[in-house]
Amino acid sequence: MGESKKQEEINQLLYKYASEGKTVVRLKGGDPYVFGRGEEECAYLVEKGICCEVVPGVSSAFAVPAYAGIPVTSRWMSSGVTVLTAVRSTGEVIDLDYVPKKGTLVILMGVHVADRLKEQLLKVRPAGEPVAVIENGTLPGQRVFVSTLEKLDVVVRENKVRAPAIFIVGEVVKLRSALTR
Amino acid sequence: MGESKKQEEINQLLYKYASEGKTVVRLKGGDPYVFGRGEEECAYLVEKGICCEVVPGVSSAFAVPAYAGIPVTSRWMSSGVTVLTAVRSTGEVIDLDYVPKKGTLVILMGVHVADRLKEQLLKVRPAGEPVAVIENGTLPGQRVFVSTLEKLDVVVRENKVRAPAIFIVGEVVKLRSALTR
């Protein structure tokens, strides 16, 4: 609820300054259109007659795996990548209709629901599928743990992984050893 | 075949200059780890003892939709996005195991197989699902066509769409009218 309030305030501030004739820059980390609320802010302004330009950014969904030595696609191992939030806006933990049987999964914001997430994913993915857990990706304190899907929750618990963290599920995790020294 | 040869030559050139003690920059459009061959080049070099650093870029998979006014995720409409190539390295047109039932699909390099792609996607997605075809995305000559999945091939044919083009499948296509003026 607190977050919703804040978003509404941001929208109003953007509108306030823009309607005073100012050029307003809303600077975000990552890509504003990849789980970035850019759509909400832009739709709010456009409806009020304010023109918006959205400049794409480098999404953490692809950049964090890259800095951990994991390419999200691979010519030989994965011809697709799916980016998901672990918890939907409805509060529900991952809807399996969003999860393909094959290809890389990049799962955002899953630390607090790692156990339920694992249970769900095991319904459509093999228990032995490689998994990487990346905490504080790209930052000096980055930690990377490689395991298998059946141990996802254990890895998170035993290493006291804290948000922000990204989970990668898929064969591409195996490439890490070939791409880092 | 021509392309494979060229990739091998690129790998060798990277190695040649690096082994002469030079710092080599391999500059790519988009993100080197999102269908970018970065993995192949990096693995080749690491195996030969050359250190690599991969700097993530802005992927066309997200940036092209953004410039066409389409966010690939939406708090209300799509809590996931899948990026796929239309044709796999094996030559096969899209493997449905890579296609989730819900969420946004961003399909790269599909112009020449639009008819077969449509047939495949109709096995898992509704005929009336919104589709956008973006030709020359982000460039001055950009063209955007909005339709439904059942007409994907017709849209491509009637408008003589040529590569490079990206297809977007999903409810988020409807947001375009709210996000552009």
Model confidence over B81-114: pLDDT tens digits?
A: 999 999 987 788 999 999 999 999 999 999 999 9
Burial class (CB in 10 A: 0-12, 13-18, 19+), B32: buried
A58 to chain B, minimum CA–CA distance in Å?
5
Rounded to two decimals, the pTM is 0.94
A34 to chain B, minimum CA–CA distance in Å?
6
Number of inter-chain CB pairs under 8 A, A vs B: 163
- The complex's ipTM works out to 0.94
Q: Which domains does chain B have, with CATH numbers?
A: 7-47 (no CATH), 60-179 (3.30.950.10)
Q: Is B75 left (phi over 0), alpha (psi -120 to 50) or beta?
A: alpha
Model confidence over B139-181: pLDDT tens digits?
A: 999 999 999 999 999 999 999 999 999 999 999 999 998 888 6
pLDDT in tens, chain A (181 residues): 445 568 899 999 999 999 999 999 999 989 999 999 999 999 999 999 999 999 999 999 999 999 999 999 998 888 899 999 999 877 889 999 999 999 999 999 999 999 999 999 999 999 999 999 999 999 999 999 999 999 999 999 999 999 999 999 999 999 998 888 6
Q: What angle do CA B42, B45, B50 make, to 5 degrees?
A: 115
* Rounded Cα–Cα distance for residues B119 and B148 (Å): 13
H or E segment and range at residue A136: none
Model confidence over B46-83: pLDDT tens digits?
A: 999 999 999 999 999 999 999 999 999 998 888 899 99
CB contact under 8 A, B47 and A88: no
A170 to chain B, minimum CA–CA distance in Å?
12
CB contact under 8 A, A62 and B34: yes
CB contact under 8 A, B75 and A37: yes
CB contact under 8 A, B38 and A102: no
Pairing of strands B104-108, A165-169: unpaired
* Rounded Cα–Cα distance for residues A156 and A150 (Å): 12
Sign of the C-alpha dihedral, residues A116, A122, A123, A129? positive
